């Protein structure tokens, strides 16, 4: 069941608006009711709510992103469960995907392309150092935002099909 604008989730997140829908879930903008902080909440689609593998993959996304803790990876701050489906609370980003930026203004000047690639590689190097392989790198999973006045600040998204090396998890 989709969340509604104004709905309070887990007694702490007020749904502000629908941001977008993907194959596995829906993303909403929400506000933490006590802190007043805006966040993004990704809810697993109800059609996958009884699929153990989909739920495992969904939670793996949260664990992988939280475990890495790098400035170029979208920060995950919480997880929870709606009546129907699990959800992930993430940093709310303003901007566009690299895919959208390519459609809008390709070809990029060399310096811009190198800067975006360099930040993306730094994020992936941090993930690999933490024993995590993303496995779904594509322009749609690279988000360009503005942070501290810096444009084209890269945030790598969607660790849903990442691989966490067993030797690094203690299992």
Q: How many beta carbons lie within 10 A of that of residue 134, not counting itself?
A: 23
Active site positions, annotated:
136
CA distances from 66 to 32, 102, 141, 142, 168 (A): 19, 28, 16, 17, 15
Share in percent of the chain as helix, strand, coil (round to 5): 30, 35, 35
Q: Round to whole Å and give the CA distance between 98 and 165.
A: 28
Per DSSP, helices labelled H in the chain are 52-68, 98-105, 110-129, 166-169
Which class for 34: exposed (0-12), middle (13-18), buried (19 or more C-beta within 10 A)? exposed
**Any idea which residue has 């890269």 for tokens?**
154
């Amino acid at each position: 069941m989709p969340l509604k604008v104004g709905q309070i989730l887990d007694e702490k997140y007020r749904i502000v608006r629908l941001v977008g829908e993907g194959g596995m879930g829906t993303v909403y903008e929400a506000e933490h009711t006590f802190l007043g902080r805006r966040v993004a909440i990704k809810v697993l689609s109800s059609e996958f709510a009884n699929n153990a593998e989909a739920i495992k993959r969904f939670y793996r996304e949260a664990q992988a992103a939280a475990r890495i803790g790098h400035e170029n990876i979208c920060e995950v701050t919480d997880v929870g469960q709606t009546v129907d489906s699990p959800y992930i609370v993430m940093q709310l980003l303003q901007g566009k995907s690299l895919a959208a930026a390519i459609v809008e203004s390709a070809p990029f000047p060399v310096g811009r392309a190198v800067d975006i690639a360099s930040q993306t590689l730094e994020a992936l190097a941090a993930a690999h150092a933490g024993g995590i392989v993303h496995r779904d790198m594509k322009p749609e999973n690279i988000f360009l935002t503005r942070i501290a006045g810096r444009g084209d600040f890269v945030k790598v998204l969607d660790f849903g099909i990442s691989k966490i090396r067993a030797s690094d998890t203690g299992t």
